[in-house]
Amino acid sequence: MSVTNECAYRHQLSTDNSEYEEVSAFFLKSAKGKDFVLSIEAIEKVNNHALQLLFDSNKANYKELYGDCKIVKLFHGTKCMNIPSIVRDNFNISLHGRNKGRRLYGAGVNFTAFAASASYYCDEDEQVKQMLLCSVLVSNILEVPEATNMWLTLTKPPYIQGTNLRYDTTARNKKTMDVIVKYEDHTFYPAFVISFRKHNNPPVQRSPRVVHDIVHPPHNFFPEFRPKQ
C-alpha cells in the first residue's frame, strides 16, 4: 500500500522486511509504560526527496561548524491529522512549543528515545494511533533544567562558552535522550510512520492464599505439668 502526498509518499513495509524488523525492535524496546503497553499495527517508510536534501545539507553544515555530527533515531508523538503535513513539509518550528507539556525544556520540536513517552501526545480516542520515528541531527547537546514558567522557556539554545556558536540541541538528559529539543528547520527528517495500539496492562494475577484449617491438639496431648517438689 502506498500513500502519495504531492512530493512525498509512504509505503507500508512487510513484516519480513529488514527495515521493518529494525524499526519494530527499536519501538518495542521502549513500548511499555507504567500501566500500558504498545503494539505495532503497521510501519510505513517515508520517501521525500526534497526534505532529504535539506536534511543532508544541514548535516554537512553541522560537520563544518561543529566538526562532528550524529544522526539519532527518535520518536515524535502527534495527532494522526498532523502526519500528512509533517511528511510533506516537515515540522514547523514556529508552531511547536505551544503545548504546555512540550515547553519544559525549550520551545522547539520535541523528540524522545522512548515510544511509550511519545504515545502520550498521540490521539487519545483513536484505537489505532500514529507516531513518527525521525532521523535527528545532534552535535552539541546542553542539558537544561525544567522551566518552571513560560517566561523561563528557552526560545533558542545559549552560546557555547568561548565561541560564537550556539548549542544545537537542549535536553533533560543527554545520555537517555528522554526529552530532546531542536530549534532549527530541517535538522530532522520524518523517516517512518508507525501505526500502533495502546493496551492497558492486565492486573497482576496473584496466587490465592491457602489458609489451612487449624487443628487443635487434644486436651491431654501435653503431659501434665507438675512443679518440682
Which whole-number Å values give the CA distances from 201 to 12, 48, 134, 153, 205, in the listed order?
A: 28, 37, 27, 35, 11
Residue 19 belongs to domain with CATH number? 3.90.228.10
**Low-confidence winner among 14-28, 130-144, 145-159 (lowest mean pLDDT):** 145-159
What distance in Å separates the CA atoms of residue 48 and residue 7, rounded to the nearest whole number?
6
Domain that holds residue 15: 9-200
Tell me whether residue 215 is in a domain: no
Res. 223 pLDDT band, cuts 50 70 90: very low
Q: Which residue has the higher pLDDT, 145 or 152?
A: 145
Instruction: Render 23-62 in DSSP notation, one character per residue.
Output: HHHHHHHT-B-SSEEEEEEEEEEEEEHHHHHHHHHHHHHH
For residue 221, pLDDT beyond 50? no
What distance in Å separates the CA atoms of residue 106 and residue 174, rounded to the nearest whole number?
14
Tell me whether residue 79 is in a domain: yes
Q: What is the pLDDT of residues 92-103, one digit of tens each?
A: 887 655 554 456
Which whole-number Å values give the CA distances from 107 to 101, 153, 160, 162, 184, in the listed order?
A: 10, 6, 19, 24, 11
Tell me whether residue 1 is in a domain: no
Give this prediction's pTM.
Answer: 0.82
The residue-averaged pLDDT of 76-102 equals 81
Q: What is the pLDDT of residues 149-200, one digit of tens each?
A: 665 677 888 899 999 999 999 999 999 999 999 999 999 999 999 999 999 9
The residue-averaged pLDDT of 124-138 equals 97
Tell me whether residue 120 is in a domain: yes
The residue-averaged pLDDT of 8-34 equals 96
Tally of domains in the chain: 1
The residue-averaged pLDDT of 26-43 equals 96
Tell me whether residue 161 is in a domain: yes
Element holding 87 (H helix, E strand)? helix 83-89
Tell me whether residue 27 is in a domain: yes
What distance in Å separates the CA atoms of residue 93 and residue 122, rounded to the nearest whole number?
19
